[in-house]
């Protein structure tokens, strides 16, 4: 009996030592390895081809916004910045230009391009002020008040601001901290229509300075250069701070240089703007002045509004600043805007968004087939359909006017009673956009 009791006690001791060893193994081996793996995972940076992590962050108007990738079958540029880090804001104006140009055009497999900004800072007041200052309120804006330690921001494993990620329509990371040229080249490669081969030969704009309200830099000489030692042209700014360059190739790299002026304090920022004063980008201060490297995507915004790029001649309307003519947007005699017409309207949307002081008249024409009165009604409805579409893209309706011309302005001999081929009739089915400054 005593022998059996000793055996039971020995068995209990063995089990106790075994359980102790199991606990020791768990606490001293398994748990450290588990936390070590977590730390290692947190230190491993994201790579091209990885799935982009989701985000749930406070947005404007005290709302919470959630982003999961893929995001609405759109390509996305996600960038992290901070109001307190000046360097992180250097590309904001350029990102906006890229977004304005590429958000609404047609793509092969994506439904558009989106821009999401995340501010890494605790100061919501400074964030709100910068959203207004940089005109970002129309974008997707979020704030991570815990900065890099935010639960969702941690998944991106970023080490500095600014940091950016180009994400495709499938939610995969295409590029990390891409240059603007890389972003533009990628978006261009995804278009469903070929790029125009027309070369822009004129640029116009203004040089402004100040903080808050801007003042034109007047009667100062500025240089447009290919390199530090190769000047393309130099011009003197007029009394409105405006410049105009002619006979240039806007597809080539170009820098703008301004010498320091004793008239203006050194800490005052300079800006390149459109003819209407919309900011394109600030200049960068160097040892002897200010310089700025023009991007391809910015050239269309510097195209003179008075430059008639259409083959058609404008009428005698003194308010007319530009006439842009598209080919046929609608199927013959139909009034519903087809999907393939949307890409052709991207240029109009871009110009109106970048020039909020510009209005447009939409004028639609058709061929001489059918009754004249019916053709007038059809083209009036077609222009109205375009107006409705532009308004759906954020263009205020008061800036838009729809006109139907029917068959009253035939471009060739294909009038009533003249037999013409379908190809010749098709030349008369067109839409014109007349741009002019708001009164």
What pLDDT sits at residue 250? Answer: 78
- How confident is the model over 135-144, as a mean pLDDT? 89
Q: How confident is the model at residue 253 (pLDDT cuts 50, 70, 90)?
A: confident
Q: Does the pLDDT of residue 118 top 60, yes or no?
A: yes
The CATH number of the structural domain formed by 322-437 is 3.30.1330.60
- How are strands ordered across the β-sheet holding 113-120? 140-144, 113-120, 75-81, 163-167, 173-176
- 55-189, CATH topology level: Glutaredoxin (3.40.30)
What is the pLDDT, as a whole number, of residue 424?
Answer: 81
Q: How confident is the model at residue 135, as a pLDDT? A: 81
Q: What is the pLDDT of residue 103?
A: 81
List the 289-294 sheet strands across, edge first: 230-236, 221-227, 254-259, 289-294, 284-285
Is pLDDT of 156 > 90? yes
Examine the pLDDT at 173 and tell me if it is beyond 80.
yes
- 217-231, 310-324, 376-390, 400-414: range with lowest mean pLDDT: 310-324
Predicted local confidence at residue 23, as pLDDT = 57
Angle value at C-alpha 298, between 98 and 327, nearest 5 degrees? 80
The answer to whether the beta carbons of residues 223 and 194 sit under 8 Å apart is no
Sign for the pseudo-dihedral over CA of 84, 86, 88, 91 = positive
pLDDT recorded at residue 200: 79
Q: Secondary structure of the chain: what % helix, strand, coil (to 5)?
A: 30, 30, 40
- Parallel, antiparallel or unpaired: strands 113-120 and 140-144: parallel
**Average of per-residue pLDDT across 239-247:** 90
Question: Which DSSP string do the residues of 163-197 spell out, in sequence order?
Answer: EEEEE-TTSBEEEES--HHHHHHHHHHTBSSPPP-
Residue in 351, 342, 358 with CA at minimum distance from that of residue 398: 358
- The pLDDT, as a whole number, for residue 40 is 40
What distance lies between CA 262 and its chain's CA centroid? 36
Question: pLDDT: is 28 or 427 the higher one?
Answer: 427
Compare 231 and 1 and report the one with higher pLDDT.
Answer: 231
Strand duo 270-273 + 254-259: pairing: unpaired
User: Which region among 122-131, 200-209, 311-320, 358-367 has the lowest average model confidence (pLDDT)?
Assistant: 311-320
Q: Does 149 score more than 90 pLDDT? A: yes
Mean pLDDT, residues 342-360: 83
List pLDDT tens digits, range 73-86: 999 999 999 999 98
pLDDT, tens digit (0-9, with 9 covering 90-100), for 34-61: 444 344 445 578 999 999 999 999 998 7
More confident residue, 3 or 428: 428
Taking the CA atoms of residue 107, residue 111, residue 113 and residue 116 in that order, the dihedral angle to the nearest 10 degrees is: -160
Q: How far is residue 90 from each of residues 83, 257, 426, measured CA to CA in Å? A: 11, 18, 48
User: What tens digit of pLDDT does each residue of 359-409 get?
Assistant: 888 999 999 998 988 999 999 999 999 999 998 888 888 889 899 999 988
- Residue 244: C-alpha distances to residues 54, 202, 234, 236 (Å): 46, 7, 10, 9
257 contacts 290 by C-beta, under 8 angstroms: yes
Q: Token match 């709100």: residue?
A: 128
- pLDDT at position 213: 80
- Distance in angstroms (rounded) separating the CA atoms of residues 116 and 141: 6
Residue scoring higher pLDDT (305 or 315): 305
In this prediction, residue 45 carries a pLDDT of 82
Which of these ranges, 85-89, 97-101, 305-309, has the smallest mean pLDDT? 305-309
What are the strands, taking DSSP E only, across 151-298? 163-167, 173-176, 203-209, 215-216, 221-227, 230-236, 242-245, 254-259, 270-273, 279-282, 284-285, 289-294
Distances (CA, A) of 29 to 14, 35, 268, 410, 436: 21, 10, 60, 86, 75
3-class secondary-structure state, position 19: helix
**Averaged confidence pLDDT in the chain:** 81
**CA nearest neighbour of 400 among 385, 415, 411:** 385
Name, in order, each residue with C-beta under 8 angstroms of 371's C-beta and a sequence gap of 6 or more: none
What is the predicted pLDDT for the residue at 26?
46
| 17 or 162, which is more confident | 162
Query: Can you tell me the distance from the alpha carbon of 42 to that of 151, in angstroms, rounded to the nearest whole number?
Result: 12
Neighbours of 23 (CB within 10 A): 10
Are 186 and 179 within 8 A, CB to CB? no
**Higher-pLDDT residue of 38, 107:** 107
Q: Could you tell me how many helices (H) and strands (E) the chain has, helices first?
A: 8, 21
Token output for 291? 């310089």
Written as six digits, the tokens of 85 are 């880090």
pTM to 2 decimal places: 0.53
Q: Please say whether the beta carbons of 279 and 286 come within 8 A.
A: no
The pLDDT value recorded for residue 296 is 73
Q: How much is the average pLDDT of 264-290?
A: 84
């Amino acid at each position: 009996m005593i022998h059996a009791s000793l055996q039971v006690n020995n068995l209990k001791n063995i089990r106790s030592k075994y359980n102790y060893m199991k606990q020791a193994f768990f606490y001293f081996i398994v748990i450290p390895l588990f936390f070590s793996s977590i730390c290692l995972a947190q230190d491993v940076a994201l790579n091209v081809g990885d799935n982009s992590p989701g985000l749930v962050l406070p947005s404007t108007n005290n709302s919470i916004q959630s982003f999961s990738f893929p995001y609405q079958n759109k390509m996305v540029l996600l960038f992290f910045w901070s109001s307190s880090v000046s360097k992180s804001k250097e590309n904001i104006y350029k990102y906006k230009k890229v977004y304005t140009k590429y958000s609404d055009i047609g793509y092969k497999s994506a439904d558009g391009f989106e821009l999401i900004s995340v501010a890494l800072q605790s100061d919501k007041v400074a964030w709100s002020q910068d959203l207004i200052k940089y005109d970002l309120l129309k974008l997707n804006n979020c704030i991570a008040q815990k900065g890099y330690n935010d639960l969702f921001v941690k998944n991106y494993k970023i080490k500095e601001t600014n940091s950016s990620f180009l994400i495709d329509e499938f939610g995969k990371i295409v590029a990390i901290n891409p240059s603007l040229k890389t972003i533009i080249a990628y978006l261009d490669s995804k278009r469903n229509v070929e790029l125009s081969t027309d070369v822009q030969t004129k640029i116009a704009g203004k040089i402004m300075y100040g903080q808050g309200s801007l003042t034109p830099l007047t009667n100062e000489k500025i240089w447009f250069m290919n390199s530090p030692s190769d000047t393309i042209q130099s011009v003197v700014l007029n009394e409105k701070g405006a410049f105009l360059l002619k006979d240039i190739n806007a597809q080539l790299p170009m820098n703008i240089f301004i010498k320091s002026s004793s008239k203006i304090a050194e800490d005052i920022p300079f800006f390149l703007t459109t003819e209407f004063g919309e900011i394109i980008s600030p200049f960068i201060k160097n040892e002897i002045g200010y310089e700025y490297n023009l991007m391809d995507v910015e050239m269309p915004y510097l195209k003179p509004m008075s430059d008639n790029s259409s083959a058609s001649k404008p009428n005698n309307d003194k308010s007319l600043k530009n006439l842009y003519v598209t080919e046929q947007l609608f199927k013959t005699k139909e009034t519903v805007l087809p999907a393939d017409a949307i890409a052709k309207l991207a240029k109009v949307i871009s110009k109106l968004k970048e020039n909020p002081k510009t209005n447009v008249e939409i004028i639609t024409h058709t061929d001489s087939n059918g009754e004249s009165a019916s053709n007038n009604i059809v083209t009036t409805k077609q222009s109205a359909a375009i107006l409705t579409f532009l308004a759906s893209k954020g263009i205020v309706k008061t800036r838009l006017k729809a006109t139907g011309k029917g068959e009253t302005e035939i471009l060739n001999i294909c009038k009533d009673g003249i037999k013409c081929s379908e190809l010749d009739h098709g030349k008369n089915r067109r839409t014109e956009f007349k741009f002019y400054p708001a009164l």
